[in-house]
Chains A and B, each alone.
Chain A
Amino acid sequence: MRTLKFLLQKEFRQIFRNKALLPLIVIAPIVQLLILPLAADYEVRNINLSIVDQDHSSMSRDLISKVTSSGYFKLADYSPSFDKAFRQVEDDRSDLILEIPPGFERNLIRENPQQLFVAINAVNGVKAGLGGSYLSQIIREYNNNIRQQWLPANKTTSLPAIEITNANWFNPHMSYYLFMVPGILAILVTIVGSYMCALNIVKEKELGTIEQINVTPVRKYQFILGKLIPFLVIGIFVFSAGLFGVARLVYGIIPVGNILLLYGFLVVYLVAILGLGLLISTFASTQQQAMSVAFFFIIIFMLMSGLFTPLDGMPHWAYIISQCNPVTYFIEVVRMIILKGSGPEDIKKHFLIMSGFGILLNVLAIWNYRKTG
């Protein structure tokens, strides 16, 4: 116990004395938490729209005002011809062309079917798909409106109509921040945990001080605990600063669920991810290697965690990878507890799996550490 005290004292002294590392631990996460959610907004709105109105009728104007007032589209310009509008798309000034052909109103009044031409810039497939379906929906509503307006009453009132109402639980204002902030918080904790921990140990290797420690009566487990505990504390600190500082004060996010449960899971997660840092440190002999290796893993972990893209859309093999990624479970749990107020029963599975990761990574790390030591 006394040995551990001395190890911890040394570790904290070194961390607080490191002028390069300290800002990285304290300032970088806060700045990232401030900027990332502002930038990481996937919501599809403001689709730039070019209109080619060759009918110039009251019906076409009516349709145009329905589309532009929907909130999804931003009128970029009126083009005289499709070709002119297409040039706007090529220059990225417009994403969607709506062409109303001549005779639009006349044809409809004669109760004939009438086509509308829509062309969408589909370089970004998601945006194009959503834009298309928003537009179709608006056109369909408009179609129903003019039917009610123009057709004899008996033809419309007797038709069955399903009224769809929807509700958005846990996030009624559909705020993207609510979704991103907890996720980014989870990533920051991951980076601090694995990256800093790996780097710190490899630095001792590089400088040779680890050898000095190895000839003293300090036990391996004491040394490892001496490394894990400070970063566990720092991880908890970063998480708390993010949760009670930035998330609360800047974004107004107040966790719905049990804070103790959240911290309980955080500790288990940190133990697992510190084990990963430890494992990386046993493979690397220079800080540069440790950085590269840690960077490689963190990129994969981050992309495959469901932070930015939904796991449900992944092909099966990728889904399996995402399920072997501890970050996935942590992000899920953080979002579940903060946003939905999920309880212990709900995260039992996550808890068991994370404990498994914790044991596996740490055992591997210690085993590998012994082998090389």
Chain B
Amino acid sequence: MKQFKAFVQKEFLHVFRDPKTLLMLFGVPVMLILLFGFALTNELKNSKIVICDFAHDEASRDITERLSAGGIFIVGQTISDYTKIEETFKAGNIKLAILFPAGLYDNLMHQHKAQVRIIADASDPNSAATLTGYATNIIMEYQRDLLKEAEMPMQIIPEIRMLYNPELKGATNFVPGVMALVLMLICVLMTSVSIVREKELGTMDILLASPVNPFLVIISKAIPYLFLSIINLIAILLLSTTLLDMPIRGSILLLLGESILLIITALSLGLLISNVVQSQQAAMLTSMMGMLVPTMLFTGFLFPIENMPVALQVISNIVPAKWYYTIVKAIMIKGLGIAAIWKETMVLAGMTILLLLISFKKFKRRLE
């Protein structure tokens, strides 16, 4: 046990004497939280649009005013030439063009019918759909106010309640994903690289030649990263609760427990990689390509899994972070207990045992 302590101590020294690695350990998570929490959002604000107004009447002016009032649109310019629209789209920046035909208000009042045309730059289809929707809503509101629709009979009023996240913040979705990403990144990448480095330098043989059980040697390499990951996790949770106003509605202990489970899963994966590859460069590439990219893609926090082709949906099930992501959302945001997430927990635990078995077996074969 005393020797084991010495080993763990040595590993901590390695980590703390390498400022660049430490920067990676703590800088990347903080950066990711800040970017995902504050900078990256799917909301659209201040999108530039052009108005092509042939009407110049009460209706077109009123609608234009409403469009520029909401903070969603910035009415960049008003043009009176239909053919100019394509030009402005091609020059970039402009996302939407709204066309008011001549005599809009007159038609509306006397023929009870008028047309407004919305043209979107759909090279970004998602923004195009969203902005078209916003603009449609604003125009419909104008119509409702004009009609005094509220006073009409047979009114259906949808009472919409947003569960868990009434302000529709992006962070609610991103933070659990970033947690999964960071834990995977640190544990898989760092353990595999640190073990392979000793392999490369030849110091591994010295360690294995010592009287300590070789399995303890390997475990001692993983312990600093377990420790650092927990600190990282706490830092992320503090940052997201204080800066991003994220709730932790469920049990913190359960959250920590599940996180430690994921960390162990990731550490065993790191061990496995370190057993298979020979160079640090290979360890890095395998960890990045084999772990980081799938985690970003298949966890579900960046892209909805239900939109993916079935084959990719099936693949997403072998990504540990996906299960963790579901668990974290359930605990932090929905405030649920173990009863709701035991299945996901079992899957993660199963993965961990499997990974540990394989990597210990590989390691043993190498010792023999």
Q: Chain A interface (Cβ within 8 Å of chain B)?
A: 20, 24, 28, 32, 35-36, 38-46, 48, 89-92, 108, 111-130, 132-137, 139-140, 142-143, 146-147, 150-151, 157-172, 174-176, 178-179, 287-289, 291-293, 295-296, 299-300, 303-304, 308-310, 312-315, 317-318, 321, 332, 335-336, 339-343, 345-346
Assess whether B360 is interfacial by the CB under 8 Å rule. Answer: no
- Contacts A40-B297, A123-B164, A315-B39: A157 and B126 contacting too (C-beta < 8 A)? no
A332 and B154 within 8 A (CB): no
CB distance from A349 to the nearest CB of B (A): 9
Most A-side CB within 10 Å, residue of B36, B159, B304: B304
Identify 26 residue pairs between A and B in the complex whose beta-carbon atoms are under 8 Å apart, listed by A's number: A20-B282, A42-B303, A111-B153, A114-B155, A114-B157, A115-B157, A117-B158, A123-B164, A123-B172, A123-B333, A130-B133, A158-B112, A159-B147, A162-B115, A166-B117, A170-B89, A287-B281, A288-B280, A288-B284, A292-B20, A292-B24, A295-B288, A300-B31, A308-B40, A309-B42, A313-B45
Question: Contact check: which of B20, B146, B164 meets A122 at CB < 8 Å?
Answer: B164
Given A174-B125, A303-B40, A309-B42; A165-B117 close (CB under 8 Å): yes
**B123: interface (CB < 8 Å):** yes
* Residues in chain A near residue B312, CB distance under 8 A: 35, 38-39
Q: Knowing A124-B173, A295-B288 touch, does A157 contact B125 (C-beta < 8 A)? A: no
Determine whether the beta carbon of A118 is less than 8 Å from that of B158: yes
* Cβ contact of B122, chosen from A113, A172, A287, cutoff 8 A: A172
- Say whether B368 faces chain A, with CB atoms less than 8 Å apart: no
CB closest residue in chain B, given A107: B154
Query: Which 7 residue pairs across A and B have the least CB separation, nearest first?
Result: A125-B168, A318-B39, A168-B122, A111-B153, A171-B122, A122-B165, A122-B162
Known: A126-B170, A164-B116, A309-B40. A296 touches B28 (CB 8 A): yes
Partner of B20, one of A46, A114, A172, A289: A289
Do residues B115 and A346 form an inter-chain contact, with CB atoms below 8 A?
no
Separation of A345 and B168 alpha carbons in the complex (Å):
40
Give 1 or 0 for each of B109-131: 1 = CB within 8 Å of chain A CB: 10011111111111111111110
Asked if B125 and A90 sit within 8 Å, CB to CB, the answer is no
How far is it, in angstroms, between the C-alpha of A308 and the C-alpha of B126 when the chains are bound?
A: 10
**How distant is A27 from chain B, measured CB to nearest CB, in Å?**
11
Q: How far is the CA of A339 from the CA of B123 in the complex (A)?
A: 6
* Chain B: interface residue total (CB-CB under 8 A): 104
Q: B residues engaging A (CB < 8 A)?
A: 20-21, 24, 27-28, 31-32, 35-36, 38-48, 86, 89-92, 95, 108-109, 112-130, 132-133, 136-137, 139-140, 142-143, 146-147, 152-170, 172-173, 193, 280-282, 284-285, 288-289, 293, 297-298, 302-304, 306-309, 312, 326, 329-330, 333-334, 336, 340
Residue of B nearest to A165 (CB): B117
**B158 in complex: contacting residue of A116, A126, A299, CB < 8 Å:** A116
Contact status B173-A125, CB under 8 Å: yes
Tell me whether B38 and A118 are in contact (CB under 8 A).
no
With A39-B298, A157-B112, A321-B39 as contacts: A312 and B95 at CB distance below 8 Å: yes
Q: Are A159 and B153 in contact (CB under 8 A)?
A: no
Given the complex of chains A and B, what is the CA–CA distance between A124 and B329 in angstroms?
A: 10
Tell me whether A108 and B154 are in contact in the complex, defined as CB-CB below 8 angstroms, given that A118-B161, A140-B140 are known contacts.
yes
Across the interface, do A43 and B126 meet the contact criterion of CB distance under 8 Å? yes
Please determine whether B115 and A123 come into contact, CB atoms closer than 8 angstroms: no
Are B90 and A159 within 8 A (Cβ)? no
Collect the chain A residues with CB atoms within 8 Å of residue B156's CB: 108, 113-116, 139-140, 142-143
Q: Which A residues are in CB contact (< 8 Å) with B309?
A: 38
Which of A116, A160, A345 touches B157 (beta carbons < 8 Å)? A116
- Give the chain B neighbours of A35 by CB distance below 8 A: 297, 312
Please name all residues of chain B whose beta carbon is closer than 8 Å to the beta carbon of A135 when the two chains form the complex. 158, 160
B306: contacting residue among A46, A115, A314, A341, CB under 8 A? A46
Residue of A nearest to B285 (CB): A24
Q: Which residue of A lies closest to B46 (CB)?
A: A312
Interface centre among A150, A159, A172, A343 (most CB of B within 10 A): A159
Contact B90–A90 (Cβ < 8 Å):
no
Which A residues are in CB contact (< 8 Å) with B282? Answer: 20
Contact of A310 among B44, B90, B118, B169 (CB under 8 A): B44
- Contacting residues, chain A, for B293 (C-beta < 8 A): 32
Q: Which residue of A lies closest to B136 (CB)?
A: A164
Whole-angstrom distance between the alpha carbons of A119 and B42 in the complex?
Answer: 21
Q: How far is the CA of A165 from the CA of B133 in the complex (A)?
A: 12
Given pairs A114-B156, A167-B118, 4 additional interface contacts (CB within 8 A): A160-B147, A168-B132, A335-B123, A343-B90
Closest B residue to A168 using CB positions: B122
Taking a contact as CB atoms under 8 Å apart, the answer to whether A128 and B116 are in contact is: no
State the CA gap A157–B35 with chains docked (Å). 52
In the complex, the answer to whether B173 meets A42 with C-beta atoms within 8 Å is: no
The CA of A321 and the CA of B173, in the complex, are separated in Å by 23
CB <8 Å contact, B120 and A126: no
Q: A160-B114, A342-B90 are in contact. Are A169 and B168 (CB under 8 A)?
A: no
By CB atoms of chain B within 10 A, which of A113, A168, A171, A179 has the most?
A168
Q: Roughly how many angstroms separate A340 CA and B334 CA in the complex, as a whole number?
A: 43
Q: How far is the CB of A56 from chain B (nearest CB, A)?
A: 17
Contact yes or no, B122 A170, CB < 8 A: yes
B294 to chain A minimum Cβ distance, whole angstroms, is 9
| Cβ-defined contact, A119 with B39, below 8 A | no
Q: Give Cα A126 to B281, complex, Å.
A: 39
CA distance A151 to B213 in the complex (A): 86
Contact: A169 with B304, CB < 8 Å? no
Q: How far is the CB of A352 from chain B (nearest CB, A)?
A: 14
Give the residues in chain B near A20, CB-CB below 8 Å.
281-282, 285
Given contacts A24-B285, A130-B130, contact A113 B168 (CB under 8 A): no
Q: How far is it, in angstroms, between the C-alpha of A44 and the C-alpha of B27 when the chains are bound?
A: 33
